[in-house]
Amino acid sequence: MADIRIPDDLWDTAEVPEGVVANWFFTNGGQVPKGATVAEIMVEKTSFDIESPEGGRLKIVVPKDGIVLPGTVIGQIENG
Amino acid sequence: MLPIELADTDALPAADQALDQLDRTAREIGKGDCQPRILIWRMKRALVVTRRETRLPGFARAASRMASAGWPVSVRGSGGNTCAVGPGTIQIALAFPRPPEGVTLDGVYDALVQPILSAIFQFGAEAEVAPVPASFCSGRYDIAVNGRKIAGLAQQWHGPAGRGGYVIAAASVIVDEDPAELAAAVNGFAGLCDGVERCSANAITTLAREAREVVNGTDLPSRFSDRLRNSATAKSFGRLIGRNGLLELRQ
């Protein structure tokens, strides 16, 4: 199992306290290929595309519109 | 590869065409197939929405209705909310490989803001970075003149650093449009699509209104883009794209 994690240094929380999950591009439980853009995080007016670290079945941890911070695990990829 | 290149109003690309080309160029930059660059262009009238908004209830029907009303809807990769553009708005985008570390959102915004402020100032208008909440697509990096929004900025960070990732920092400057028409288009869309933010025409201004320099006989958007091109030098963005970055400017 691999975590889909927002990079720790993606933004400075002193400047922008938090972001939101703007989109999931795959459904919960769906199969995703390695490297696919699985989610979009919105911070202020900046969108960050989040890629899947592995191929496998997507488990969404933070739903659309959920609040996130750098380092937050927003989902997991289950292999096999 | 030739960046977006425009000649006159009749030749303006549709927003879909221009944004597709911007994305293609950014992907090539991310892969290292071409150098970082600045693009300056105009495009036909459109409502430019975010990917998030395409998933709102009623989006497809609202987009169809707005297209029939002369406001086709195009989707951009950057953040924010619905933005109205037309031949009297100037688009500027900086595209570069996603940096490994040490470059922040605010650092990118600050770099893009400066040439826009400088170009506006050259027409005698005093612009500042200040949010204008009642305008469309409002954010911390709105550019305002006399408390009204004249430009807005947004970014898209795609993919990992060093493995094809890229950043697009983009701005739309309202040079010569009717704020009431822009606001009516955004509000018309908002009325059809639950979740799109409404705006006030009184919160929007244009360079044509605010310029103190008398501009006769020349297309104001063309003159503005010329000055923007002169202001957006490699020095403005050197910290982001490195000294060897090639900056290409096209109107």
pLDDT for res B247:
43
Using an 8 Å CB-CB cutoff, list chain A residues near B195. none
Helix (H) or strand (E) holding B92: strand B89-97
Condensed to tens digits (0 to 9), the pLDDT of residues B36-45 reads 888 999 999 9
Question: Given this model, what pLDDT does residue B216 score?
Answer: 66
Residue B195 has pLDDT above 90, yes or no: no
- Read off the tokens for B72: 């086709």
- pLDDT, mean of residues B107-129: 94
Which pLDDT score is estimated for B1?
35
HSE at residue B47, side-chain half, CA atoms within 13 A, is 35
Residue B238's pLDDT band (cuts 50, 70, 90): low
**pLDDT for the residue B5:** 45
Could you give phi then psi for residue A29, rounded to 5 degrees?
90, -5
Q: Is residue B14 a contact partner of residue B46, using CB atoms and an 8 Å limit?
A: yes
Instruction: Classify residue A27 as exposed, middle or buried by CB count within 10 Å of its CB (0-12, 13-18, 19+).
Output: exposed
Residue B249 has pLDDT above 80, yes or no: no
Contact state of A49 with B158 under an 8 Å Cβ cutoff:
yes
Q: Is A16 on the interface with B (CB under 8 A)?
A: yes
The verdict on pTM exceeding 0.95 is no
Ordered by where they begin, the domains of chain B are 9-241 (3.30.930.10)
Closest CA in chain B for residue A65: B52
**A47 touching B, CB under 8 A?**
yes
For testing the chain B interface, which of A20, A24, A46 should be mutated: the one with the most B CBs within 10 Å? Answer: A46
Supply the mean pLDDT for chain B: 88
From the list A39, A30, A75, the residue with the least C-alpha distance to A57 is A30
A18 membership: H or E segment, kind and range: none
pLDDT surpasses 60 at B251: no
At B239, list the tokens: 């910290």
Q: Is B34 a catalytic residue?
A: no
B203, B58, B225, B42: which is closest to B130 by C-alpha?
Answer: B203
Note whether A46 contacts B: Cβ–Cβ < 8 A.
yes
* Interchain contact B110–A (C-beta under 8 A): no
Select from B143, B156, B166, B197 the residue whose CB has the most chain A CBs within 10 Å, as the one to mutate to test that interface: B156
Q: Which of A29-38, B15-24, B130-139, B217-226 has the lowest mean pLDDT?
A: B217-226
What is the pLDDT at residue B11?
Answer: 79
Using the 8-state DSSP alphabet, how is residue A44 labeled? T
Percent of chain B at pLDDT above 70?
Answer: 86
Chain-chain contact of A11 with B153 (C-beta, under 8 angstroms): no
Q: Which of A47, A49, A54, A68 to mutate to test the interface with B (most CBs of B within 10 A)?
A: A47
A54 reaches B (C-beta below 8 A): no
The residue that leads in pLDDT, B220 or B248, is B220
Residue A40 CA to residue B24 CA, distance in Å, equals: 19
Cα separation, B129 vs A79, in Å, equals 47
pLDDT: which is higher, A12 or B18: B18
The topology under which CATH files domain A2-78 is: OB fold (Dihydrolipoamide Acetyltransferase, E2P) (2.40.50)
Q: Write the burial class of residue A20 (CB in 10 Å: 0-12 exposed, 13-18 middle, 19+ buried).
A: middle
> Where residue B7 falls among pLDDT bands split at 50, 70, 90?
very low
CB atoms B105 and A12 under 8 Å = yes
Over residues B54-100, the pLDDT tens digits come to 989 999 999 999 999 999 999 999 999 999 999 999 999 999 998 87
Rounded CA separation A48/A22 (Å): 9
Taking CA atoms, what residue in B is nearest to A35? Answer: B159
Q: Which of B190, B199, B183, B187 is nearest to B58 (CA)?
A: B190
Cβ neighbors of A1 (< 8 A, separation 6 or more) are A76, A77, A78, A79
Where in chain A are the domains?
Answer: 2-78
- Strand blocks (E) in A1-80: 2-5, 19-24, 31-32, 37-43, 46-51, 56-60, 67-68, 73-78
